[in-house]
């Protein structure tokens, strides 16, 4: 899937201040930016994920090799929030081609699918309770509107996270067919709507 038309959307979250010629920059990293992830980010992704999920459920949604797997196959369906060179929050997704999630959706990327399966959204512990998860999810969903073949996003979550995703516009599909150990999940979906003209212009005018 090409993301050439979507690239203008992923840009620094704060404009870089202008500096007079006589003033030397202390560093060249933008204060805050959002960008697609790549395999070089895999270890940072997994460290955040492991801390966020192992302490709560004892399970990671994605193991390190699976993180690398999806960042190799479909990096354009990932999004990372970087502050001064440090990953503070991220989303990893892949394409799916069925109405509901099955166990295969945990490991497969279906390039011809029109559904984005959001595998994981996680925020570094130092940056939680600051609204970063909500903001990153909103930006991700808007970014998906720039991808011409995507029609909806789906995810599976534990029941206590349903209110969080509902605030972002997700709707409950029902109980998920996937179980992990003794955990069950609710499947939720979000429509990626809009005519092609509207989708194209929303990407360029952000």
From the list 64, 73, 108, 161, the catalytic residue is 108
Radius of gyration in angstroms for the set of CA atoms belonging to the chain, rounded to a whole number? 17
Mark whether 168 is an active-site residue.
no
Task: Return the DSSP state at 14.
Answer: S
Q: Which two tokens stand for residue 109?
A: 């990327």
SS3 of 51-73: the string is HHHHHHHCCCCCCHHHHHHHHHH
Is position 124 annotated as part of the catalytic site? no
Q: Which residues pair with 171 in a beta bridge?
A: 189
From the candidates 71, 87, 95, 121, which is the catalytic residue? 121
- Are 49 and 120 in contact by the 8 Å Cβ rule? The answer is yes
| Catalytic annotation, pick one of 119, 136, 140, 190 | 119
DSSP string across 77-96: GEEEEEETTEEEEEEEEEEE
Catalytic residue check, 190: no
Q: Active site includes 108?
A: yes
**Whole-angstrom distance, CA of residue 154 vs CA of residue 193:** 14
Which residues, at least 6 apart from 190, have a Cβ–Cβ distance to it below 8 Å?
Answer: 141, 152, 153, 154, 168, 169, 170, 171
Hey, how many other C-beta atoms are within 10 angstroms of the C-beta on 47? 13
140 catalytic per annotation: no
State the catalytic residue, choosing from 94, 95, 140, 147: 94
Tokens 């354009």 locate to: 76
Active site residues: 94, 108, 119, 121, 165
């Amino acid at each position: 899937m090409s993301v050439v038309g979507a690239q203008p959307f992923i840009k620094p979250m704060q404009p870089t201040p202008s500096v007079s010629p006589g003033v030397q920059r202390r560093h060249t990293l933008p204060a805050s930016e959002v960008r697609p992830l790549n395999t070089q980010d895999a270890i940072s992704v997994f460290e955040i994920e492991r801390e966020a999920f192992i302490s709560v459920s004892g399970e990671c949604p994605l193991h390190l090799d699976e993180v690398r797997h999806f960042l190799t196959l479909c990096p354009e369906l990932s999004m990372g929030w970087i502050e001064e060179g440090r990953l503070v929050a991220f989303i990893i997704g892949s394409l799916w081609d069925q109405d509901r999630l099955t166990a295969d959706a945990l490991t497969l990327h279906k390039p011809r699918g029109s559904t984005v399966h959001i595998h994981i959204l996680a925020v570094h512990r130092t940056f939680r309770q600051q609204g970063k998860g909500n903001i990153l999810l909103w930006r991700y969903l808007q970014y998906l509107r720039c991808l011409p073949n995507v029609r909806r996003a789906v995810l599976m979550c534990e029941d206590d996270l349903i209110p969080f995703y509902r605030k972002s516009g997700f709707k409950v599909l029902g109980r998920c067919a996937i179980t992990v150990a003794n955990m069950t999940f609710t499947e939720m979906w979000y429509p990626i709507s809009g005519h092609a003209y509207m989708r194209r212009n929303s990407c360029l005018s952000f």
